[in-house]
Amino acid sequence: MKEKFEFQKQSFRDLIRKEYLKAALIPILIIEMMLLVLYFGINHYKNLKTRNTLLSEARVNLQEISMREAEKINQQLSRISALALILQKENQRFFENPNKFPLPSTEPVLKVAPNGSMYKENNNGGSSIYYSNFIPFTSESFKKARITEAMDPLFKAVCEADSNIVAVYFNSWDNMNRYYPFIEKTYEQFEPGMRITEFNFYYEANEIHNPNRGVVWTDAYLDPAGQGWMASCLVPIYKGDFLEGVTGIDVTVERFIANILRLKLPWEGIPILVDRNKGILAMPPQAEKIFGLVELKGHDYRETIKHDTYKPDEYNLLKNPNISQDFKNFVNSDANLTEIQFGNQVYLITRNLIPETGWEFYSFVDENILFHPIYKLHELGTVLGVLALIFLILFYIPFFIALLKRSDAIAHKIISPLEYLIQATTEVSQKVKQVDLKPVGIEEIDRLSGNFNLMTEELKAMYDRLEEKVDEAVRQIRERDHMLIKQSRQAAMGEMIGNIAHQWRQPLNSIAVMIQNLEDAYVYGEMDDTYLREKIRRIMEIINFMSRTIDDFRYFFKPDKEKVEFNLRWSIEQTLNFVSSALVNNNIQLTKDLDEDIVVEGYPSEFSQVILNIVNNAKEVLIERAIKNPEIQITLHKKDNYAWVTIADNAGGIDPSIMEKIFEPYFTTKEMGTGLGLYMSKMIIESNMKGRLWVSKGERGAAFHIELPLINNNA
């Protein structure tokens, strides 16, 4: 208190200086701060509106551009499909009348390799040949290998007609593969006894999978001919209704990336090509970091390919577990535009169908790149605002010094005559005596001096009368002391209120623990909306319970309280919620065996207070006695026309010498206890709810029993 008094004590000179500066500076500072807040607010609002406008325009523009690019891809694939139809027409014409097609001038050298397969040894400018020995060779086999050399000029022309095409081939029903461009020693590249008809680049075009005999595009697969990962455009070759084989055009993933996905999308957009089954066909290097994958372009052919080999599941947008569910939902939906976060980046994503193949074209735009100009503008605005703030600080330093000097001059002018008045008033001693102050020439101070002279005169007369009244006042004070002593005895009844604090202790501890948990959750990053709402709900439940506790105690002795029907199990569960955290913190096991649908008539809040009081007492005894494996058991059962509640602990029981006293008012074994908890609990159960409350010695400790009559419909 002394420090506070000395801090508040100040001279008139200091007061004038402070108030002058306050009156001069505060309005200016408030205006300047408002201008700065307005500037930064407008800057933020402008950036937000610009961002939203740019995002809206980017959505429209990116969708339109992506649609155009998808159409371009569709046109490129359509050209390949058109070339495949030409191959189909010419190859079918060849099989109808092979004699009309001339053979190359250089005869092919056909040999059988050590592993039993047929191959073409010389490169005569045409295709290579691999003829599987799965079906034994005949003279017709060698003849077919020779006469199909007539296909090579068209294969070569088609392969050179489009830069996306890496190879053209024909696979026959009897497992012959004619492949352009030429492959040396095909018997080393292909599996011996290979059944070509069981690979996707054959059966996807057969009569079962392609009854319309049109163009078919495969998903990405690993090419047995050594070209790596690719997709094929297939057409069946029929002679009448007999499937002679399948002609295919290969486009590798590397060609897709180099030619088809070499797009210059706005905002450094990233294109991705996806097949019908949502597998990634091709993606440029920029897309690899989005999915955490490395594109499969080539393959280490240490072993021959024995069966269909497709891209692993992690390259499937729906099967990769590391891809977010939001993106999977977008892939499964009919939407064409979305915003989804991958890692720390948010991408604007469009999707367009490629009708020719049924594939999909995705474009990803990083919103950090999209909004980069806005971020730079916002940064510039912030820098300008900070420079303005620094300028204001540098301006107000000399301005403040000038105001300080001005306030000192004004204070000196006012204080000089007051010092005379101060000197005159010091002549008034502890015994009030009249002082005659002389005028000093300042109207207000001279008026103050005259009033002071009159005041000292009146004080002198009052002081004389006051001495006569002191003795009378002392006598009255002594009588008042006796009255206060009597009232203090009556005020002892107010100790009942201490029980409310006793009832509140655990809820307040629970609230404190929850608030501490909130802080810990925030520090360790475990905070989320669900966790926060649950903790707030629990705290509000405890606060409401504490509020009801006040009301229940306030109206406890009023005879006009209305009883209500309530479920005992629900009331007990609600009450235990308030102490559950305290029990857990003290490693006390709580065991419950509560029957449902037991309804009584009474006061649920008061009943909750009884349960809370008994459980708290058990908890404190367990802690005080340091019981190993402490436990509290609560049971609720129906017997005859009564509900029976038992609360037992394993603390060793109550001393028999005080067993009969624990329900008496003001009896307590606690150092700070009021002795009213169990007394009021007994009054609530027996006086207000017409039941019984008693204690017995249980198997391992004390057992409190509550017996309450059931209402008629539960009887």
pLDDT value, residue 439: 65
Hey, what are 633's tokens? 């058991």
Question: How many other CB atoms are there within 10 angstroms of residue 547's CB atom?
Answer: 11
Residue 705 has pLDDT above 90, yes or no: yes
pLDDT value, residue 4: 43
Q: What's the structural domain count of the chain?
A: 2
pLDDT value, residue 496: 39
Q: What is the pLDDT of residues 394-413, one digit of tens each?
A: 777 787 777 777 767 766 66
Question: How many other CB atoms are there within 10 angstroms of residue 142's CB atom?
Answer: 15
357 assigned to some structural domain: yes
Task: Say how far apart CA 208 and CA 422 lie, in whole Å.
Answer: 117
Task: Say how far apart CA 486 and CA 482 lie, in whole Å.
Answer: 6
Most confident of 26-35, 94-103, 302-311: 94-103
CB 625 within 8 A of CB 645: no
**Alpha-helical regions (H) of 97-129:** none
pLDDT value, residue 163: 86
| Domain range for 363 | 62-371
**Residue 2 binned pLDDT confidence (cut-offs 50, 70, 90):** very low
Task: Say how far apart CA 346 and CA 344 lie, in whole Å.
Answer: 7
> Lowest-confidence range among 327-331, 521-525, 614-618, 665-669?
665-669
**How does DSSP assign 140-198, residue by residue?**
HHHHHHHHGGGGHHHHHHHHHH-TT--EEEEEETTSEEEEES--TTHHHHSPTT--GGG
CB 171 within 8 A of CB 245: yes
Return the half-sphere exposure (C-beta side, CA atoms, 13 A cut-off) of residue 69.
26
Residue 216: enclosing H or E segment and its boundaries?
strand 216-217
Task: Say how far apart CA 182 and CA 159 lie, in whole Å.
Answer: 12
Residue 393: enclosing H or E segment and its boundaries?
helix 372-425
Mark which of 303, 338, 371 sits at the end of a domain.
371
Task: Say how far apart CA 651 and CA 205 lie, in whole Å.
Answer: 82
Q: What is the average pLDDT value for the chain, to the nearest integer? A: 79
Residue 677 has pLDDT above 60, yes or no: yes
Cα distances (Å, whole numbers) of residue 180 to 91, 215, 250 = 15, 20, 10
pLDDT value, residue 483: 47
> Who wins on pLDDT, 561 or 504?
504
CA dihedral 48, 53, 54, 58 (to 10 degrees): 140
**How does DSSP assign 695-707, residue by residue?**
EEE-SSSEEEEEE
515 assigned to some structural domain: no
pLDDT value, residue 308: 55
Report the sign of the C-alpha dihedral through residues 153, 155, 156, 162, in that order.
Answer: positive
**CA neighbor of 648 nearest in space, from 695, 707, 580, 610:** 695
Helix axes 529-554, 496-523, angle to 10 degrees: 180
605 assigned to some structural domain: yes
Cα distances (Å, whole numbers) of residue 498 to 245, 440, 550, 676 = 98, 63, 12, 9
> Lowest-confidence range among 201-215, 274-288, 664-678?
664-678
**CA neighbor of 604 nearest in space, from 577, 575, 579, 581:** 575
> Who wins on pLDDT, 548 or 174?
174
**Residue 558 binned pLDDT confidence (cut-offs 50, 70, 90):** very low
- The rounded percent of the chain whose pLDDT value lies above 70 is 74
pLDDT, average across residues 353-382: 79
pLDDT value, residue 104: 84
**CA neighbor of 218 nearest in space, from 251, 194, 175, 193:** 251
**Residue 482 binned pLDDT confidence (cut-offs 50, 70, 90):** very low
Supply the DSSP symbol for 557. T
32 assigned to some structural domain: no
**Residue 489 binned pLDDT confidence (cut-offs 50, 70, 90):** very low
Most confident of 21-25, 163-167, 576-580, 656-660: 163-167
CB 179 within 8 A of CB 187: no
Residue 25 has pLDDT above 70, yes or no: no
Supply the DSSP symbol for 321. T
**Residue 236 binned pLDDT confidence (cut-offs 50, 70, 90):** very high
**CA neighbor of 428 nearest in space, from 450, 451, 460:** 460
Task: Say how far apart CA 214 and CA 257 lie, in whole Å.
Answer: 26
Residue 598 has pLDDT above 50, yes or no: yes
242 assigned to some structural domain: yes
> Lowest-confidence range among 89-103, 194-208, 356-370?
356-370
93 assigned to some structural domain: yes
**Residue 549 binned pLDDT confidence (cut-offs 50, 70, 90):** low
**Residue 171 binned pLDDT confidence (cut-offs 50, 70, 90):** very high
3-class SS at 654?
coil
> Lowest-confidence range among 310-314, 457-461, 528-532, 610-614?
457-461
Hey, what are 39's tokens? 């500037």
CB 371 within 8 A of CB 388: no
Mark which of 349, 371, 393 sits at the end of a domain.
371
pLDDT, average across residues 115-124: 92
pLDDT, average across residues 186-190: 85
CB 166 within 8 A of CB 227: yes
**Residue 422 binned pLDDT confidence (cut-offs 50, 70, 90):** low
pLDDT value, residue 380: 72
pLDDT value, residue 64: 84
234 assigned to some structural domain: yes
**CA neighbor of 191 nearest in space, from 305, 309, 110, 308:** 305
For residue 542, what are the contacts with CB-CB under 8 A and spacing of at least 6? 507, 510, 511, 578
Q: What is the CATH number of the domain that holds 588?
A: 3.30.565.10
669 assigned to some structural domain: yes
Mark which of 344, 371, 398 sits at the end of a domain.
371
CB 642 within 8 A of CB 648: no
Question: How many other CB atoms are there within 10 angstroms of residue 303's CB atom?
Answer: 7
Residue 20 has pLDDT above 90, yes or no: no
Most confident of 140-154, 190-204, 437-451, 509-523: 140-154
3-class SS at 531?
helix
Burial classification of residue 521, based on how many CB atoms lie within 10 Å of its CB (0-12 exposed, 13-18 middle, 19 or more buried): middle
Question: How many other CB atoms are there within 10 angstroms of residue 225's CB atom?
Answer: 21
Residue 273: enclosing H or E segment and its boundaries?
strand 270-274
Task: Say how far apart CA 24 and CA 407 lie, in whole Å.
Answer: 10
pLDDT value, residue 430: 47
Q: What is the pLDDT of residues 455-476, one digit of tens each?
A: 766 666 676 677 677 667 657 7
SS3 letters for 481-516?
HHHHHHHHHHHHHHHHHHHHHHHHHHHHHHHHHHHH
